[in-house]
Each structure stands twice: as C-alpha cells, then as structure tokens.
Copies of this chain bind each other. A is one copy, B any other.
C-alpha cells in the first residue's frame, strides 16, 4: 500500500551503482575534489547509505580501485591465449589493454592518475595490480628468451626493467590514444609492438614487427 518510491534493491546492486558513480566522479573531478555529496546524488541514494555500505571516502576509493583493477586485469587476461608464441601473446594483451582503457576512461583515470597521486595506501593498491601485469610480461619475456635459445639467462633485474619499460610505455600510450583524435586501440597496440619488439634500430633499418592476421578480440559466445 502507498506509493513505492524507492525500489528496494539488493545490497550488492546498490553497491555497484555507488561504485559506478564514484568511479565516474573520482575519475573526472579527482579524489579530493570529488565530494561525497556529489557521488551520493549521482548514485541516486542518500549520503548516509553510502557510509553504511562503503564506510568512508577512503574505503570507497579503495573499493573503486580494487574493482577497476580487477576488471582491467581480467580484460587483459581474457585477451591472451597462453598457447601462442610470446610476441602473439603480447600483441593480444596490448590490444585488450588499449581496448579496455579506451572504453573506460574514468576507470583508467582512477587507476593511472588518481590512485597514484593521493597517498601511498592507494598507490599500493594499484601497484599490486600493476605488479601482476608486470610479472606476466616478465614471464613472457623470459619465455621468449628461452624459446630463442640464444639468450637464456638475461639477468633477472634486467628483465624486470624491460617489463617495467614496456608497461610504462603502454600506460603512457593509453593516455595518448585517449587524448589524440583518431588514434584507435589497434593503432596504439601496433605502434607499441613495433617499438617494443623490433626496437628503433630495426625500425630504422626497415624491419618492423608485423601484426598477425586479423582475429576478433572477443569471440562470440566466449
């Protein structure tokens, strides 16, 4: 009886709505400039409810970081098939990475900019995810070195540095692709593959890395 005004939604759903609103607000305004008022309003709920579910601004931000970090890693993982050769795996991972960051710019802003800029606690949160990716790339490089039978024992730290450089370049290109009119995720991935795999030296000598035949990023039903 009486008009149903607020839909009673299950807690999990409400929480996701709040996180959606928070990611958007944090991504656009920045962590400190984002106000809990604005987030609550954008989520369509009252402020005390946000506190009831998410505890505090810090916790809310942490929750955002975790959700988006998990999503990004999942997207990259989903794009990679571990039975392929190393360069193919890298190519697939990069395509997935650029596609995801292009489709979720606010999330990317949260992970890449905001989380790194507002306290070690948050930075550590992203670092955890980033390390996962760096580790993946590190293994990829090490595997490739073994496959090549030529350079089986690159020093570990050297490999770590290379992975770091590669991931850093990818992150930077993601921002560049988002900001530059007409640069697609695929182009960004190609550029980076060329750069990373062939190196400037080979490029200068006219030996670019060439992308494989087109294959869809996400398969139907998959």
Contact = CB atoms under 8 A, between A and B. Distances in A.
Interface in A7-46: 30-33
A117 B119 CA distance: 13
Given A176-B168, A191-B162, A201-B209, A118 B33 contact: yes
A33 B114 CA distance: 13
Contacts of A157: 183
B187 A161 contact: yes
Interface residues of A, number: 54
How many copies of the polypeptide does the oligomer hold? 4
B172 A165 contact: yes
Interface string A174-199: 01100000010001100110111111
| Nearest 3 interchain pairs by C-beta | A168-B172, A199-B199, A161-B191
30 contacts: A30-B32, A30-B118, A30-B119, A31-B32, A87-B200, A113-B117, A114-B117, A117-B117, A117-B118, A141-B200, A145-B203, A148-B204, A150-B206, A151-B203, A151-B204, A151-B206, A161-B173, A161-B183, A161-B192, A161-B195, A162-B191, A162-B195, A164-B173, A168-B169, A168-B173, A169-B169, A172-B172, A195-B196, A196-B200, A201-B209
